[in-house]
Chains A and B, each alone.
Chain A
């Protein structure tokens, strides 16, 4: 090998080695990974936990529910996070519900339509109802906004709202109605809320903890997304936020989970707009 090339190879190897060394990190760190919906809450809990238990280290990573489930199955992380229910192939994991999250249907604060049935909501998003007049509002075309394909919020919405009144198949499950192809697509709760807040004709859905005064949560089938309605299961669009472990949790993972399920952990989650499971 000519001399300059050898220099370069040596340099490259050195650079690679130093990178590998850095990424390994501390051995005692507990890794929590998965759903981007659960991520901010888990981060908050981890901060609280580390404040009470000096010396402990918890790193929280996003990546999505499916990634979290896979990472947990492969023992890459100690605790996985999921904002959707486990599929049949994934049930080997232990699931620990940490909170409930209602998905609120939101409209612009100026929109007089505040009550919908599940079937009406389905028809709006399927493009069968296209004018607010049909729902008792002004003569204005409806702008439905949905989340991107693969989003956990979208999956829950499909499972709970888009199946309303749809014929059931042989396995007892209904196929969700197809979404109107001209529905706008946004990739975060934040941008969805921003658009609904500025467009009087818009309707969309976000995590109920994020509803603020600029948008209005719709009463669905006569039930508003209040804490009691969510906990009793009366509000129809509720999903569970799950922690997942591969086998029973032990050591640091067990302690963190205990904290999350404790009164102070649950209180912290409730303050952020989620609904307690305990």
Chain B
């Protein structure tokens, strides 16, 4: 009886998490869909004119901006993160792993507003001096986001590398391959699906990040054509304007959230498909 009670209780609590996602999706879509229907799907996602006060709702610059910043951030995060994971998994002496791993985990605990603040005070003026332009740019956002994705990318790809059966490594070494050859030709391919999942989860983190991006992106409404131009992401659009929005403007922000939701759902589906063990 007691057993059953606990079991049912846990089930309910577990279901509540799933229910939350459905409730959130329901409310976002309920608010957003009517506006998109009114404006037209095509005009909403393919027009570059955003002026809610004048009834123009085009979020193309934000979609492009979000993707551009995210892809760049993942490239930065993947390069640095995977190298770091490879080092930690194979080459780092035992003591340095004990020091480095907690430090990387600490990186995940720094609030995003702090990253943004460092971006504004250090990174943005640096970019302004080095390359010209306002400094608030795609580049600044991508660098900040790239650093923010590091803990995710490192932790998950490290797990993936550790999950490779030691037999593979031993076999390769026994055949006379060097450690680098073994890592590069045997362990990395074996951990491939886990590493790709790490990149995709890092991408999810990057696309959803808001505060730090608002602070360094400049939030202009143009389609960014160069790395040094300011950019506005989907999340920034919602956070910037929600304070004052009402009526259609508010609905348009919900619709922006809807697009974001769909993009993230697609990313997660890809992550699931990639990580599913091949049968």
Chain A contacts to B: CB under 8 angstroms: 2-5, 8, 36, 63-67, 70, 141, 143, 148-152, 178, 181-187, 191, 194-195, 198-199, 201-202
Contacts and interface: CB of A to CB of B under 8 A. Distances in A.
A148 B240 contact: yes
Contact of A182 (B51, B53, B128, B220): B220
Contact of A5 (B8, B48, B52, B136): B8
A150 B229 contact: no
Contacts of A186: 219
Interface residues of B, number: 37
B244 interface: yes
A150 B214 contact: no
Contacts of B52: 149-150
B134 A184 contact: yes
A66 B244 contact: yes
Given A149-B52, A149-B53, A199-B134, A3 B5 contact: yes
A148 B8 contact: no
Nearest to B51: A149
Nearest to A143: B134
A182 B240 contact: no
A193 to B, nearest CB: 12
B240 A199 contact: no
A194 B5 CA distance: 57
Contacts of B48: 181
Contacts of B232: 185
A151 to B, nearest CB: 6
A234 B50 CA distance: 34
B246 A201 contact: no
Interface string B1-22: 0001100110010000000000
B9 A184 contact: no
B12 to A, nearest CB: 6
B243 A181 contact: no
B212 interface: no
B249 A150 contact: yes
